[in-house]
Chains A and B, each alone.
Chain A
């Protein structure tokens, strides 16, 4: 059964550094999403992406964040200048219609 994949599984970075989190959505899916989950808390929506553009973004998704689909398979989340409070698990998800399937996540630790 096809699954969403994400790399890396764990990323440690210094405050102020740029990070890029990578995702490969399920191949026939049209909608892509990024969510984050701070340890022990609920999953929070960051951004949704369709037809090569952002369709919706949350208040969390400020100017420090960007998303890109650089080729036909990858979907990336970039954080330009990381802050301590960006430490969280970042999940990519994709859907063909409304059923969203999540990747295994990237644990981002900002020191």
Chain B
């Protein structure tokens, strides 16, 4: 089955700097790659996603890139703010209605 690896497990950045989180997946049939932000004790919130027919997607300070050949995708957060502090999970799925396989998570701390 699908296996998603995520790095780093923790990331500490100064406010205003960029943060990059990387994920790799194993199943070449996966074609949907969402990113979730989870604050302590809260639900995972979908922040951005990318499908296999595009290589990059951007939404304000957040961008995601996908390299299907290498089977890896990354989350980029620019101009980080303290409210970006949370755990971020990448995930992979094959199609609508299919399970999400999650990475291990990255705890991001933005220091003011």
**Could you tell me which A residues sit within 8 Å of B by CB distance?**
30-31, 33, 35, 41-45, 48, 50, 55-56, 58, 91, 95, 97-105
Contacts and interface: CB of A to CB of B under 8 A. Distances in A.
Given A43-B44, A91-B44, A48 B99 contact: yes
B61 interface: no
A58 B96 CA distance: 17
3 shortest interchain CB distances as A-B pairs: A97-B96, A45-B99, A31-B97
Interface in B26-76: 32, 34, 36, 42-46, 49, 51
A91 B46 CA distance: 14
A103 B43 contact: yes
Nearest to A32: B97
Given A42-B103, A48-B97, A104-B42, 10 more contacts: A33-B100, A43-B36, A43-B44, A91-B44, A98-B32, A98-B93, A100-B34, A100-B100, A101-B46, A102-B36
Given A43-B102, A99-B49, A31 B44 contact: no
Interface of A is mostly: strand
Nearest to B43: A102
- B: contact size bracket: 20 to 34
Interface of B: 32, 34, 36, 42-46, 49, 51, 89, 91, 93, 95-105
A35 B44 CA distance: 11
A42 B97 contact: no
24 contacts: A33-B100, A42-B103, A42-B104, A43-B89, A43-B100, A44-B102, A48-B97, A48-B98, A48-B99, A55-B97, A56-B98, A56-B99, A58-B99, A91-B43, A95-B97, A97-B97, A98-B49, A98-B51, A98-B96, A98-B97, A98-B98, A99-B49, A102-B43, A102-B45
B31 to A, nearest CB: 9
Contacts of B100: 33, 35, 43, 45, 100
